[in-house]
Amino acid sequence: MTVLNPTKDTGATSKASPLLYGEPDRLVTDELLAEQLQIDGVNAPFLADLLSAFVTHERCGRHLYRSVAGRTNNSMLKQRYEHFGKETEEHVEILETLITNSGGSPSYSSPMARAVEAQDAKLLESTFLGAGTLDLMTAEMAMLDAVFAAEALDQANWQAMDQICESLPGGPIQEQFRTAVDRVLSQEQEHFEWAHGTRAKLTKLQLESSTLAMAGEKMEEMMAKVRSWFSSD
């Protein structure tokens, strides 16, 4: 079962730092990470930190997709968000399995993961905290932009995973990384290309329409327009 929010109950750990407090058994060091991830030829603590950041981004992605799927007014977007959200949760599971099989802990939250989580949290918050003055169409675009930005990083992460495969020594761990990359990278490319393409399509759609999002337009009319996006696709 995937963990979307590591907590003490799920075995969460973090890296010891003078400014990050924790119970001693919750704090890990680079030396301990190196012992856990016994992979020759790579900087194991860095790899542990990186994988923690990658799985964190997928976890945040799952939350983002749940959020936008629940708030979009367009059925096609909703369907895509739900579908990609499920795939993103599978990616969490794949990364958790990889980390575990490599000797690491999927509940380890690295400093890099904290930075990623902070970025992703703000990205998600940007879709609603300041959205009160946005018309429906702009709000939809803001959600799509967040998905686009998240998927851009996601794709880059899995491209980095592809590179990592090449740096790993031959053996079962490398094979597992390769299998994961082969399965996920193409999905990530699809997610990114969809977000990229849909963003372009919506931009064009609004650009060529003289009536969309006009000041004073009635809410029902605007809602109807958002709902009808892609209806001819």
Partner 1 sequence: MNPMEEAGIPVEEQIRNWSELNTQPYDKASVDPYTRTRVILMNGIEVESVMFSHQFARHTDQMELKRALAMNRRVDAQQQKAVNNLNPGDQTPLETTIGYEQVAVDLTSWLARNEKDPMLKQALDFALLEDFDHLYRYANLYDLLDGKDASALTDHLTEITPGRPSAVQHRHPYDEVRGHYDTHTVDPLSRLHVMTIVAAEQQTMNFYMNHGTDWIEPIARGLYGEIAMVEEQHVSHYESLLDPLDTWLRMWVFHEYNEVYLYWSMLQNESDRRIGQLWELHLQMEIGQLHAACDLLRRFEGVDPEEILPVSLPDTPVTFEPNKAYVRDILANQIDLRTDGSAYVPVDQLPSDHRYFGFQRRVNAGGSPMDLVVEENVRRNGGERRDETDGPNPISSLAPHAA
Task: Please give the single-letter amino acid code of residue 199.
Answer: R
Binding test (CB under 8 A) with partner 1, winner from 1, 19, 207, 215: 19
* Residue 1 makes contact with partner 1 by CB under 8 A: no
Q: Which of residues 164-183 bind partner 1 (CB under 8 A)?
A: none
Please identify, using beta-carbon distances, which residue of 17 and 228 lies nearer to partner 1. Answer: 17
Please identify, using beta-carbon distances, which residue of 28 and 180 lies nearer to partner 1. Answer: 28
* Residue 117 makes contact with partner 1 by CB under 8 A: yes
* Residue 14 makes contact with partner 1 by CB under 8 A: yes
Q: Count CB atoms within 10 A of the CB of residue 215.
A: 5
Calculate the alpha carbon distances from 159 to 50, 54, 143, 146 in Å. Answer: 13, 11, 24, 20
Tally the C-alpha atoms within 13 A of residue 131's C-alpha that lie toward its C-beta.
Answer: 19
**Sheet containing strand 13-15, strands side by side:** 27-28, 13-15, 108-109
The 39-78 site mask, x for binding partner 1 (CB under 8 A), equals -----------------------xxxxxxxxxx-------
How many angstroms separate the CA atoms of 106 and 226, rounded? 40
Contact residues for partner 1, defined by CB under 8 A: 4-9, 12-14, 17-24, 26-27, 62-71, 107, 109, 114, 117-118, 121, 124-125, 128-133
